[in-house]
Structure 1
Amino acid sequence: MQTLARKSALLFIAAMCSLTALVLVTARYAFVDSFTRIETREALSATRQAQALLLASRDAMHRQCADWAAWDDSYEFVTRRDTDFVERNVTLQAFSDNDVDLMAFYDAQGQPILVRMRGADNSYFRDPPKDLTDALAPQGELGRKLANDAPFAGLLSLYEGPLFVSARPITRSTDPTRRGGWLVWGRYALGALPPFFSDLLPHAAQLFTPGSYDTPPQVAALFTSAAKRDPQVRPLDDSTMEGLAVLTDIKGDPGLAMRILMPREASEQGNKALMLFSLVILVGTALVAATAQVLFQKHVGRRAASLAADIERVRISGFRSPLPADGDDEIAAIGHAINRLIRDREQAAHTLQENEAFFRLLYEQAPDAMLLLLDESIASANDAAARLLGVADRKDLLSHPLIEFFPPAQEGGGVAPAKPDTLRLLTVG
């Protein structure tokens, strides 16, 4: 049978565990929400930073292109067709030094003079792909841009992959307003991040094109016409945040998608802190429960057991001795209540004894004869009954049938009648 202390301890432990669980669940949801907001901000910042670095790579190429376009040798080449210029300057080493994949020179009328593209391993020149040649034609996408007489930089969507392009008017240093032709540079976007730019990124960036076979579905959705152009972030799973961004080409269509995968370090550290916090709470709950159990046993359990033992002692003594009831708490109040019951019982028993003695004296000394019969035998009689029935001591009447003390029979079978007011019979049974 469970004791009061054990039941109270179990109830207290259950209450503390429920409160602890409520606190932990609330804290977890609050922490998880806070961690997610922090990681979302970090992932969005990292995605924007990667996007800015990619555009910075394009802008760096645009500035380098401006230096070549303002070079007098370039002006002499497009106006006088200096072939030595090509041999001296438009070399594979120049492509490598400037990190470009395309160099194209146009005359003032927008007609191509020289178009060179380097091969994949930077060891040879190759013919430009047909869609690039079409774009460079006067009626092509780039050709129409050149007709606007304004420098520009943008993204050109090609079958081989998106190409960052930069177009600058070729001018003479002594007369920058005089345009001799155009210089167009290009760099494939999938290789647009130099190593030093990648080192600046907090997390690795992945680039995808509309035709990539390994493009994840959420990235492929960025190439739809209804896709958002602003960077997007979301939790990919419990351990990774995903950042997505898209760059549009010179026609305004999505041409290049960027994906950042960032480990959820805040959630990981937060979950560890939450686990530690949970462990501390559980250990604290166990210590509080153990302390409460000891204190309850000391101040309640032992006194309750002592009270039960004192009550049993009082019962064995016939409720003649009071209980020890020291203190002013609930246990002492129980003892005082029991002592009042004992006193009331003693007083009732004393009153009953007095009444019993009074009525016994009244019965024994009554002038009228009184008998108490049990199964027609005399169980009790007073002194008046003994005198009436002619015996010296009323004890001689006890256990004798009353008929023995009737007068003898008369002639004719009758008995002498007793005086009705001289004998009172009390029959029991």
Structure 2
Amino acid sequence: MIRVDYNSLSGSISESFTGVTNLTTLSVAVSNLTRMVPGKLFQLPTLRAIDLSTNNHLYGTVPPFYKNLSLSLEELILDNTKLSRLLPSTTMNLKRLRKIDLSGCKFQGSIPSSMGSLSLLEEMDLSANQFSGPTPSFSSMKNIKSLKFEQNNLNGSITATDWGELLKLEVLDMSNNTLDGSILTSLFSLTSLHTIDLGQNKFSGKIQLNELARITSSKLETLDLSSNDLEGTVPNSIFQLRELTTLDLSSNRFYGKLKLSELLQGLNNLKTLGLSHNNLSINTDSYGVNSSFPQLQILYLASSNLHTVPGFLKNQTALTNLDLSKNQISGGVPHWMWRIDSLLILNLSYNHFQNLEPPHTNKSKLFFLDLQSNNLQGQVPVISSNIVLLDCSSNNFISIHPDFGNHLSEAMFLSFSRNWQHPCNIVQCHKASAS
């Protein structure tokens, strides 16, 4: 075993290491390597694990894997390097491989179809590369637990895999690609799955109501289907997945009515909910909300045909990110909203709000506040001393609180454009309050 992790080697590993007999582990992670280790090291028949990860200036290509290496290698960890070009087709010779992590590199080309024959593989992470083309069939990977391909250029459908055969699969992340076609019923029948992330793709058609209604996984914690072209109504069975922590269906073409006060009851673990930019009509009244209603951290309800601020927000104490933009909400911004101490990001833009009252105390942690394109009038109040971005453009403001400029130490972006009368110069306000 050779472990020289967390050093500053600045170069490559000496070829003399190829003379080490019975070498089982070569670990040179986080060691400032700049040149690929000698190819002969990859040919040692006793080697079980290679870890060259997090050498951010390590350039080169992966050498071929000869058949004698297939007798032993179980872990190949090369993530967060600058290794590039094609993945060797001889990867299929690594018959004992259990873990391969090539994430955050510069690999390109197609994923070798032969990789689907690595039947002992448990973890595969090829995320954040430049792989393109279709995904191979993974049906033979009966031991696979984690498949990660996010942030590549993969395209085509995922129908080559019989997902129902992967009974040990726990994590599937194919987000941020250009995959298309339908999402197969068999994927949702896997009881071992706790994460499904297919967001930021081009999946289309109806997630047939009879498909999602057949979800049986009680372990599912994350379901992200956002930013696709899916349609149909959202089946109530999704809200019966009691272990859910993240549910994001935003930016699709789902339609129908959802009454959140009923559907979210019992989802005690839910932290992130995204329903924005669909054709949904969402009922957000707080009638019947009780202690089994989740304490959310992130809530996206933009373009959700809302006419009032959701009443259940009054009882939210952990909320950090709230998006209610592009609705038809009118009246005043509720004063109780400033009492959500955890709130950091608030987007109320493109509504019909008319009144904005300041909080009683200036203890808000809010650093992002978007109020653009409403009907707000009167004076711009001091909301928070932590403001980094504040957009008050396209409203009817006519003045600004005289102490406003004294609370801009963190500000990077301010906009008051397209109001009836521009508030007094921010710099002058700051000078006046400082003098």
- Structure with greater strand percent: 2
Larger relative helix fraction = 1
Question: Which range, TM-score by smaller chain?
Answer: under 0.3
Quick one: higher RCO (CA 8 Å, sep 6+), 1 or 2? 1
Q: Given the two structures, how large is their TM-score scaled by the length of structure 1?
A: 0.18
